[in-house]
Amino acid sequence: MRLLFLPLLFLSQLLFAQKLTSANKNAVLASVEKHQQELISLSDQIWGFAEIAMKETKSSKVLADYAEAQGFKVSRGVAEIPTAFIAEFGSGKPIIGVLGEFDALPGLSQKAQPTKEALLEGAPGHGCGHNMFGAGSLGAALAIKELIAAGKLKGTIRFYGTPAEEDLAGKVYMARAGLFNDLDVCLDWHPDYENKANMQSSQSVTDYTISFKGKSAHAAADPWNGRSALDAAELFNIGINFLREHVKPSVRMHYVYSKAGKVPNVIPDEASVWLWIRDSKRSGVAEVSERMKDIAKGAALMAGVQYDIKLNSGLYELLINETGAKTLQSNMNFVGPVTYTKEELAFGEKIMKEYGLESKGISGTIKPLEVTKEDPVGGSTDVGDVSYIVPEITLLATTAPYEAPWHSWVVVACGGMSIGHKGMLFTSKSLGTTMVDLFENEKLRNDIKEEFLKRKGKEVWKAMLPDGPPPVPKN
């Protein structure tokens, strides 16, 4: 009789736990729906502000103010960045974090309409959908905060307001300050043209400025007295282009001239090249960077000038966590696909044709989990650095038509209307329900951490940043 009683008791406890989890997940859905107009308003305000890296004063403030009004403890200006903040609620372990970005891209101003027309000519625009990123993540954090406040979950929820992802690597400065060190798991998301739990890494990248200093002279009267810094810069780039034959296919190198002289009849005494080096692994970037340094030295010797190499920043590749992705996938399926009105479908069709691409509709379905590709196709993110400190789970959500061109006016337009709003709210629900599992299931957290440590191996994260404070504009 006793032997029969024990399995029945275990089954009863299991069913009770499942019922409790389901109730908490339904509470997340209800919370997001209750606050959806507030979240949409936040997203639309940030879309209108359209502030670029390290200048997101208004965008940061509306998110931080809203979090504070909802009962979060808000710490502003963290990591010596005025627009970075942390909103926290609860106490003790586990500590689950969620990231929220809000910076825009230069020159992409666009009205929320399917024809190209700037809202303000030459102004920034949210061509990567970060206006929805911060608001969507905060919506998930708020749902969990309400469950902790009601005594349904135990632990700490922490929302990170993370500026300057598009440029200047805001999260790396926050990571250098140790702000992610005590997290158990961290989540993030990114606008996309598909709904899926991300299993694709990103590229590691380093950002350098290579400067050359020579001696000016009259280009016609006495050029032999000059030492052209521009000659060195051009020789350097010739060397970089010859190097392309001898690097792995996963490597990318791209550059622009930052300085190249002012008038043709003066030998330029200063010239500089802004260079990015990418590869699928940080170790690959480091190897190419050493070759680059030799090329810079050789170019300076050939031109008879001085040279200097400055590291502006660097990013790690994203460390995938399949255990976490599977949990996220399950909760995306729990939330269900996104549906669109005839008007939204017509908007999507028209905007793609206006851009010059074939319209393939809007993908509201949830893609099955995909196998990780060894070499990512392109793109880098400072989330990669966070993923080497704490297990990271990433969601991609549809906020634009299928195969929409990113960093374009198309994405800006969709992010300012209901197509973007629906993707954002889907994200709040999917991240929030995933957090319920993370708070309730200690074994899941341990399994996620075990995979994290295995994938990370012996790699010790170190910020790839210059010494000194973040590059915050003085004005």
**Tens digits of per-residue pLDDT, 101-144?**
999 999 999 999 999 999 999 999 999 999 999 999 999 999 99
Q: Which CATH architecture has domain 15-201+317-456?
A: 3-Layer(aba) Sandwich (3.40)
What the block records as the tokens of 39 is 């979240």
pLDDT score of 15: 54
Intervals of CATH 3.40.630.10 along the chain: 15-201+317-456
Q: Do the beta carbons of residue 91 and residue 100 sit within 8 Å?
A: no
**Tens digits of per-residue pLDDT, 274-290?**
999 999 999 999 999 99
- 204-315 — its CATH code? 3.30.70.360
β-bridge partners, 95: 156
The one-letter code for the residue type at 175 is A
pLDDT score of 9: 52
What the block records as the tokens of 435 is 């957090």
Question: Look-up: residue for tokens 């969507």?
Answer: 136
pLDDT score of 16: 54
What the block records as the tokens of 148 is 């902790």
Intervals of CATH 3.30.70.360 along the chain: 204-315
| Alpha-carbon gap, residue 86 to 99, rounded angstroms | 10
Average pLDDT taken over every residue of the chain: 95
The one-letter code for the residue type at 47 is W
Q: Mean of the pLDDT values across residues 3-24?
A: 61
Cα four-point dihedral sign 134, 190, 317, 453: positive
| Alpha-carbon gap, residue 267 to 224, rounded angstroms | 10
| Alpha-carbon gap, residue 410 to 412, rounded angstroms | 5
Question: Look-up: residue for tokens 């590059």?
Answer: 471
pLDDT score of 376: 82
Indicate whether 463 pLDDT > 90.
yes
pLDDT score of 474: 84
| Alpha-carbon gap, residue 129 to 166, rounded angstroms | 11
What is this structure's pTM? Answer: 0.93
Indicate whether 7 pLDDT > 70.
no
**Tens digits of per-residue pLDDT, 295-354?**
999 999 999 999 999 999 999 999 999 999 999 999 999 999 999 999 999 999 999 999
User: Which of 207, 173, 181, 187 has its CA nearest to residue 82?
Assistant: 173
pLDDT score of 12: 55
Instruction: For residue 26, give the 3-state DSSP assignment.
Output: helix
Kindly report each contact of residues 456-461 with a partner whose C-beta sits within 8 Å and lies 24 or more positions away, as own/partner.
456/319, 456/388, 459/282, 459/388, 461/175, 461/316, 461/385, 461/388, 461/389
What the block records as the tokens of 170 is 């805001």
* H or E, element range at 89: strand 85-90
- pLDDT over 90, % of the chain: 92
Q: Mean of the pLDDT values across residues 376-382?
A: 87
Instruction: For residue 423, give the 3-state DSSP assignment.
Output: helix
**Tens digits of per-residue pLDDT, 406-436?**
999 999 999 999 999 999 999 999 999 999 9
